[in-house]
């Protein structure tokens, strides 16, 4: 787990080391507070290799009573959300695929293509539900006060984006990765 956290930190440091907030978020984008908050949380805070936590600077729009007892945004929380969400999505995806095959073969026992479509639809549904649930549970276990509905909305946006990418480019990886990333972003923006 610690190696994954180090990898995440070094990757973001390598990619965004010399990036100023104004480069990715133009100064004219003042109306897009959520995007600005996400960018600041992910890329504009100093971190220590000893503690592996973001410093305690809190943005003014993020000060509230609900944040008084919650830990500050940390890459440990995000990496745990991605790992738990991915693992939960994989397990529920497999379970959903098996249930999908069982449902289809109960009505059409001799049709192999129908069984495959049952596995794909059931598996993808289980993957998405598992991703969203895993991200939410991992965030709440770290005493973060993110919204379930924001996590669901982020996961749904990831599903729609993934389907759009597949239909435009034919690259299927986004269809599996974007629900997890969307749910993670949705949860962390609602903190």
- Closest to 8 measured CA to CA, from 59, 55, 77: 77
The residues pairing with 47 across neighbouring beta strands, listed in sequence order, are: 54
Residue 23 confidence (pLDDT): 38
Whether 50 and 98 map to the same domain: the answer is: no
**Is there a contact between 85 and 93 (Cβ–Cβ < 8 Å)?**
no
Report the number of distinct structural domains present in the chain. 2
Whether 111 and 57 map to the same domain: the answer is: no
Whether 100 and 183 map to the same domain: the answer is: yes
Range of the structural domain that residue 184 is part of: 75-189
Whether 108 and 179 map to the same domain: the answer is: yes
Cα dihedral 173/176/178/179 (nearest 10): 170
Whether 32 and 112 map to the same domain: the answer is: no
**Is there a contact between 100 and 118 (Cβ–Cβ < 8 Å)?**
yes
State the Cα–Cα distance between residues 110 and 58, nearest whole angstrom. 60
Whether 29 and 113 map to the same domain: the answer is: no
| 47 against 144, higher pLDDT | 144
Whether 132 and 185 map to the same domain: the answer is: yes
Whether 90 and 55 map to the same domain: the answer is: no
How does DSSP assign 137-165, residue by residue? HHHHHTT----HHHHHHHHHHHHHHHHHH
Q: At which of 26, 44, 67 does a domain end?
A: 67
pLDDT tens sequence across 138-187: 999 998 989 999 999 999 999 999 999 999 998 888 899 999 999 999 99
Q: At which of 50, 67, 84 does a domain end?
A: 67
Whether 61 and 94 map to the same domain: the answer is: no
Average pLDDT over residues 68-90: 82
pLDDT reading at 53 higher than 80: no
pLDDT tens sequence across 85-126: 999 999 999 999 999 999 999 998 888 899 999 999 999 999
């Amino acid at each position: 787990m610690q190696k994954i956290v180090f990898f995440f930190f070094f990757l973001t440091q390598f990619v965004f080391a010399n990036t100023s907030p104004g480069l990715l978020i133009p100064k004219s984008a003042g109306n897009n507070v959520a995007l600005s908050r996400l960018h600041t949380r992910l890329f504009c805070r100093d971190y220590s290799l000893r503690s592996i936590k973001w410093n305690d600077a809190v943005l003014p729009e993020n000060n509230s009573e609900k944040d008084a007892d919650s830990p500050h945004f940390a890459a440990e929380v995000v990496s745990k959300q991605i790992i738990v969400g991915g693992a939960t999505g994989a397990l529920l995806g497999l379970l959903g695929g098996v249930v999908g095959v069982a449902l289809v073969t109960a009505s059409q026992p001799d049709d192999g293509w129908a069984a495959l479509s049952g596995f794909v639809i059931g598996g993808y549904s289980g993957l998405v539900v598992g991703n969203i649930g895993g991200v939410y549970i991992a965030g709440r276990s770290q005493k973060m006060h993110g919204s379930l509905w924001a996590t669901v909305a982020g996961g749904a946006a990831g599903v729609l984006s993934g389907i759009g990418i597949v239909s435009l480019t034919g690259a299927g990886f986004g269809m599996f990765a974007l629900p997890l990333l969307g749910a993670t972003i949705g949860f962390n923006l609602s903190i």
